Amino acid sequence: MKKYNISLLPGDGTGPEVVNEAVKILENTKSNYDIEFNFTNNDLGGDRYLKSNELVTSKDLEELGSSDAILLGAIGHPDVKPGILEQGILLNLRKEFDQYINLRPVVLYPGVETPLANKGSEDINFTVVRENTEGLYAGAGGYIHYGTENEVATQESINTWKAINRCIVYAFEYAKQNNRKKVTLCAKTNVLTYAHDLWERIFNDVSESYPDIETDYGHVDAVCMWMVKNPEWFDVIVTDNMFGDIITDLGAMIQGGMGIAAGGNINPEGVSMFEPIGGSAPKYTGMNVINPLACIAAASMMLNQLGEEQYAKDIENGIIKTAQKLESLSAGKMGMSTSDVGDAVLSTILDN
């Protein structure tokens, strides 16, 4: 019997509801895989911050750091100024645990509606590998003459050989292990002539060790265009933090929306954190109408990272079958409640 310690960070808004569904599925299926989970709940989030002014404490870090993986619901609270929780919790955890990859599969499951005309599940199936620790997210910059008409604000994109190299190596290894044929570098070498020149040189160097994998390059603006017009061109896309943030929201939309899009903040040598990529959806909180599939998909990615590939696949199949039964993937329009959707996924796994 294998045993995994999982830290749950249900967080804010609808986060707890979706994490609940994922945990329900894991609790009720684990014995089929001879697995035991030890779940620990952590109350990080907006409510705790408002009560105690605490974001992430050293005790939190110790607790989360001693787990095998973290499953996050959502961070974001209507009464907290935008930026505080995102920076103080989400980005902070990504950095503290050196989760240097943000892995975001963009897969349109059969029967799920996409806003792209004439595109189906055979066309939309790629993965974005986003650098997750630096670039414009590094926090380098500052103000001079704050609050005056002479104010200057800078925000620099930090690009180190080490971080780029490990990200690109990850992308090629991911392609190799998942039978993907092509890796596309998404950057802006025509304008970011230093930072993205470095990305391109490393991309070319690393690609030489993977002669069987095709390579391609797209400027980020063109990649946005092709993701809409010819998403079938993409297989694995590797990109920097900011561009990865932007193109994965576009990716989430073409795969059916935030109700289904999941991602992993991965440290292959450490503790990884998995999350539905949508927000905390405060207006749907407590109504049992939010779509839990994205969080269940995050749990499936988590199992994959833990090495439980079959278990991960079975949950993904449950998601695919359940998605087909929903009237829509959007909150409030599913034709089923949050807990019914969780039950539907659970029963398809148990029926296997």
Residue nearest to Mn ion (CB): 245
* Nearest-angstrom CA–CA distance, 206 and 103: 19
Tokens 């900011």 found at: 242
Among 60, 235, 245, 308, binds Mn ion (CB under 5 A): 245
Q: Minimum distance between the CB of residue 335 and Mn ion, rounded to whole angstroms? A: 28
| Closest separation in Å from C-beta 245 to ligand IPM | 4
Tell whether residue 129 is a contact of ligand IPM (CB under 6 A): no
Binding of residue 134 to Mn ion (CB under 5 A): no
Q: Backbone dihedral region of 76: left (phi > 0), alpha (psi from -120 to 50 degrees) or beta? A: left
Q: Which of 81, 60, 58, 54 is nearest to 72 (CA)?
A: 60
Annotate each residue in 76-105 with x if it binds ligand IPM (CB under 6 A) or - if it does not, as one string: ----------x---xx--------------
Distance CA 93, CA 27 (A): 26
Q: Is 295 in the site for ligand IPM (CB under 6 A)?
A: no
- Binding site partner of 235, from ligand IPM, Mn ion, none, Cβ cut-off 5-8 A by kind: none
Q: Name which of 109 and 243 has its Cβ closer to Mn ion.
A: 243
| Residue with smaller CB distance to ligand IPM, 68 or 86 | 86
| 214 binding partner (options Mn ion, ligand IPM, none; Cβ < 5 to 8 Å by kind) | none
Q: d(Cα 147, Cα 142) in Å, to the nearest integer?
A: 13
Stretch that binds Mn ion, among 35-43, 194-202, 240-248, 281-289 (CB under 5 A): 240-248
Residue 263 to residue 127: CA distance in whole angstroms: 10
Q: How far is the CB of 68 from Mn ion (least distance, A)?
A: 25
Q: What is the rounded CA–CA span in Å between residue 176 and residue 194?
A: 29
Closest-CA residue to 168 (of 156, 183, 158): 183
Displacement of CA 109 from its chain's centroid (Å): 17
**Contacting residues toward ligand IPM, per CB under 6 A:** 86, 90-91, 245, 277
**Contacting residues toward Mn ion, per CB under 5 A:** 245
